[in-house]
Amino acid sequence: MNLRPKSPHRRHFPRFFCWLLVLTALGAVARPASAEASHTHTAPGRVAQNLSDGWRFHLGQPEADPRAAGFDDRRWQRVSVPHNWNRIGNYDETRRSDADTTRGIGWYRLRFTAPPADGRRAYLQFDAASIIADVWLNGEKLGRHEGAFSRFRLDATDALREGDNVLAVRVDNSAPDPGSATANIVPISGDFFMYGGLYRPVSLIRVGQAHVELQDYGSAGVYERVLALDDRSARVAVRTELRNDAKRDGVFRLVTTIRDASGRAVASDRQDVSLAAGAARSVSAELSIADPRRWDGRRDPYLYRTTVELRDPSGALLDRVEQPLGLRTIRVDADKGFFLNDRHVELHGVTRHQDRLDKGWALSRNDHAEDMRLIEELGANTIRLSHYNQAQPFYDLADRHGMILWAELGLVNLTAPKGEKDMPPAMMASARRQLKELIRQNYNHPSVGFWSIGNEVTNWSSKGLTPKGGARAAMEALDRVAKAEDATRPTTLAVCCEPLPGEIDKGQERTSGSADTVGYNLYLGWYSTGHVEDAARLGDVMGGLHAEHPGLPIGVGEYGGGGAVTQHTDNVRGGKLESISRPQPEEAEAAIHELSWKALEPLDFLWGSYVWQMFDSTSDLRQEGDSSDINTKGLVTFDRKTKKDAYYFYQAAWRTDAPILHLAERHYVDRAYRTVDVRAYSNAARAELTLNDRAIGSARCADHVCVWPKVRLAMGVNRLRASAERDGRIATDAIAWTYDGPERALHVRAGTLTGVRLANGTRYGSDNYFDGGTGHTLNPFKRELYAGDGSNTNPPKKVVGTETPELYASWRAAQRFGYDLPVPDGEYRVVIHLFEPEGLKPGERVFSVTASGGETRRGIDPARLAGGTLRAATIRMTGAARNGVLRLDFAADRGEALVSAIDVLPRD
The 3-class secondary structure across 689-750, one letter per residue, is: EEECCEEEEEEEEECCEEEEEEEECCCEEEEEEEEEEECCEEEEEEEEEEECCCCCCEEEEC
> What whole-number distance in Å separates Cα of residue 623 and Cα of residue 525?
20
Q: Indicate the SS3 state at residue 865.
A: helix
Q: 417: pLDDT confidence band, cut at 50, 70 and 90?
A: confident
The answer to whether 615 and 89 have CB atoms below 8 angstroms apart is no
Pairing of strands 705-712, 675-682: antiparallel
Q: 18: pLDDT confidence band, cut at 50, 70 and 90?
A: very low
Return phi, psi of residue 544, to 5°: -65, -40
The answer to whether 62 and 221 have CB atoms below 8 angstroms apart is no
Q: Which residue has the higher pLDDT, 547 or 467?
A: 547
pLDDT of 363 above 60: yes
Q: 459: pLDDT confidence band, cut at 50, 70 and 90?
A: low
Lowest mean pLDDT among 57-61, 114-118, 492-496, 592-596: 114-118
Q: 517: pLDDT confidence band, cut at 50, 70 and 90?
A: very high
- Average pLDDT in the 731-746 region? 96
Cα-Cα-Cα-Cα dihedral sign, residues 89, 93, 99, 101: positive
- Average pLDDT in the 122-129 region? 98
Q: Domain limits of the chain?
A: 1-344, 345-649, 675-739, 746-906
Q: Which residue has the higher pLDDT, 45 or 453?
A: 453
pLDDT of 783 above 90: no
pLDDT for res 401 = 98
> What whole-number distance in Å separates Cα of residue 155 and Cα of residue 182?
24
| Fold exhibited by the domain 675-739 | Immunoglobulin-like (2.60.40)
Q: Of 27, 609, 13, which Cα lies nearest the Cα of 349?
A: 609
Domain 1-344 in CATH 1.20.140.10: no
pLDDT for res 271 = 96
pLDDT for res 335 = 98
> What whole-number distance in Å separates Cα of residue 138 and Cα of residue 901?
72
- Average pLDDT in the 561-585 region? 93
Model pLDDT for residues 58-76, shown as the tens digit of each residue: 999 998 999 988 899 999 9
pLDDT of 784 above 60: no
Using omega within 30 degrees of 0 as the cis cutoff, is the peptide bond preceding 131 cis?
yes
Amino acid at 284: S
Superfamily of domain 345-649: Glycosidases (3.20.20.80)
Q: 435: pLDDT confidence band, cut at 50, 70 and 90?
A: very high
Using omega within 30 degrees of 0 as the cis cutoff, is the peptide bond preceding 387 cis?
yes
pLDDT of 561 above 90: yes
Q: 468: pLDDT confidence band, cut at 50, 70 and 90?
A: low
pLDDT for res 122 = 97
Give residue 390's Cα distance to chain centre: 12
- Average pLDDT of the chain is 92
Distances (CA, A) of 114 to 35, 151, 894: 18, 22, 86
User: What's the burial of 163, exposed, middle or buried (CB within 10 Å: 0-12/13-18/19+)?
Assistant: exposed
Q: 581: pLDDT confidence band, cut at 50, 70 and 90?
A: confident
The CATH number of 746-906, from 2.60.120.430, 3.30.1330.10, 3.40.50.970, 1.10.3720.10, is 2.60.120.430
- Average pLDDT in the 513-535 region? 94
Complete DSSP assignment for 634-686? -SB-TTS--B-HHHHHHHHHH--SS--EEES-TT--B-S-SEEEEEEEESSSE
Model pLDDT for residues 369-384, shown as the tens digit of each residue: 999 999 999 999 999 9
Q: 528: pLDDT confidence band, cut at 50, 70 and 90?
A: confident
Q: 781: pLDDT confidence band, cut at 50, 70 and 90?
A: confident
Q: 418: pLDDT confidence band, cut at 50, 70 and 90?
A: confident
User: Left, alpha or beta for 6 (phi > 0: left; psi -120 to 50: alpha)?
Assistant: beta
The answer to whether 855 and 875 have CB atoms below 8 angstroms apart is no
Cα-Cα-Cα-Cα dihedral sign, residues 650, 651, 655, 660: negative
pLDDT for res 469 = 67
The answer to whether 806 and 762 have CB atoms below 8 angstroms apart is no
Q: Which residue has the higher pLDDT, 81 or 28?
A: 81
Q: Which residue has the higher pLDDT, 322 or 582?
A: 322
pLDDT of 632 above 80: yes
Q: Indicate the SS3 state at residue 801.
A: coil
pLDDT of 299 above 50: yes
Q: 578: pLDDT confidence band, cut at 50, 70 and 90?
A: confident
Residues forming the active site = 456
Give residue 284's Cα distance to chain centre: 38
- 345-649 shares the fold of 1-344: no
pLDDT for res 908 = 77
pLDDT of 24 above 70: no
pLDDT for res 782 = 62
> What whole-number distance in Å separates Cα of residue 20 and Cα of residue 220?
7
Q: 42: pLDDT confidence band, cut at 50, 70 and 90?
A: very low
Amino acid at 627: S
Give residue 161's Cα distance to chain centre: 44
pLDDT of 813 above 80: yes
The answer to whether 601 and 643 have CB atoms below 8 angstroms apart is no
Q: 29: pLDDT confidence band, cut at 50, 70 and 90?
A: very low
pLDDT for res 419 = 77
- Average pLDDT in the 163-180 region? 96
Model pLDDT for residues 81-123, shown as the tens digit of each residue: 999 999 999 999 999 999 999 999 999 999 999 999 888 999 9
Q: Of 278, 286, 291, which Cα lies nearest the Cα of 247?
A: 278
Q: Taking the model in full, what pTM does it have? A: 0.92
pLDDT for res 845 = 98
Give residue 514's Cα distance to chain centre: 23
